[in-house]
Structure 1
């Protein structure tokens, strides 16, 4: 009998955790989506702009490196 109760408790706990997880993910997604479309905070926008600037710098650096490697591969001098 105690094994049946334990199995039922495990099943109930699993269903509860799964349900709460789905609700949490749905509400956080909605809040994130709503925040970005209806005016995200200035701090978040600035952080995104900084990340974008860093990515752009990385792209420029990667292009330079690829050009350098192509030159070396063709037998040119660096």
Structure 2
């Protein structure tokens, strides 16, 4: 009887330990996943800004050519 009670207590402790490890891994994975999503959003923003910079450079070059044409 005592052995059964001890075995149940030990198994219960092991199950609790296993569940806590599983939860910790899941929580860590969710944090990592959120970070990955944030990185993807930031990368999209950087790409958008780079596209805008290219468009602005083109527009500035065009305006400079217009100004030179007017000045000449």
- TM score, norm. by length of structure 1: 0.47
Supply the distance in 2 between the matched residues of 1:23 and 1:12 (Cα, whole angstroms). 17
- TM score, norm. by length of structure 2: 0.51
Residue 15 of structure 1 is matched in structure 2 by 21
- Over the aligned positions, Cα root-mean-square deviation in angstroms equals 1.5
Gaps of 5+ in 1: 41-78
Size of the alignment, in residue pairs? Answer: 40
Q: Which has the higher helix share?
A: 2
| Structure whose CA Rg is larger | 2
Gaps of 5+ in 2: 1-6, 47-72
Flag as ranges the 4+ runs of structure 1 deviating above 2 A. Answer: none
